[in-house]
C-alpha cells in the first residue's frame, strides 16, 4: 500500500523511484530520497499540490479546516489538526476520490464526502 506522500507524488506525475526532485522555488531542483518527501510538513511542497487540485476542484482553506469540492459537492472536509495537517489530509482524501472516480462526474460517485 502506498504512503500518503507516495499518493501525492504519483498525482503530481512524479515517478515513484528511490530519488525524487524537491521543488526549491526558482533555484531549480535537487534530489531527495523518497523517505524524506515533505508534502505533509512543508508548504513549499504542498502548495503546488493544492494548485494542481484547483484545476479539478475548489479548495477552501479557512481557520482550522480545509474543504475541497467539485461542482459544489464536498469531496474532502478536514478540520482536526493544524492548518498544514488539514490541507495535507484534504489533499490526500481528494486524490483518493480522484483516483477512484476520475472519468466520472461527481454525481456518478456514491460516496462523495469523506470526512476526517
Q: What element of type H or E holds 77?
A: strand 73-78
Indicate the pTM of the whole model.
Answer: 0.75
Residue ranges, the chain, pLDDT below 70: 15-35, 103-116
Distance CA 92, CA 11 (A): 10
Is residue 58 a contact partner of residue 96, using CB atoms and an 8 Å limit? no
- Please tell me the predicted confidence (pLDDT) of residue 33: 61
Q: What fold does the segment set 4-108 form as a domain?
A: Bacillus phage protein (3.30.2120)
- Spell out the domain ranges in the chain: 4-108
Distance CA 48, CA 71 (A): 21
Amino acid at each position: 500500500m502506498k504512503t500518503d506522500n507516495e499518493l501525492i507524488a504519483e498525482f503530481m506525475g512524479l515517478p515513484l523511484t528511490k530519488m525524487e526532485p524537491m521543488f526549491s522555488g526558482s533555484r531549480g531542483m535537487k534530489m531527495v530520497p523518497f523517505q524524506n518527501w515533505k508534502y505533509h510538513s512543508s508548504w513549499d511542497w504542498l502548495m503546488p499540490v493544492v494548485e494542481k487540485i484547483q484545476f479539478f476542484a475548489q479548495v477552501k482553506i479557512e481557520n482550522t479546516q480545509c474543504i475541497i469540492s467539485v461542482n459544489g459537492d464536498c469531496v474532502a472536509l478536514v478540520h482536526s489538526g493544524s492548518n498544514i495537517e488539514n490541507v495535507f489530509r484534504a489533499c490526500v482524501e481528494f486524490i483518493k476520490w480522484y483516483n477512484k472516480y476520475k472519468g466520472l462526474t461527481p454525481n456518478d460517485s456514491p460516496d462523495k464526502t469523506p470526512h476526517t
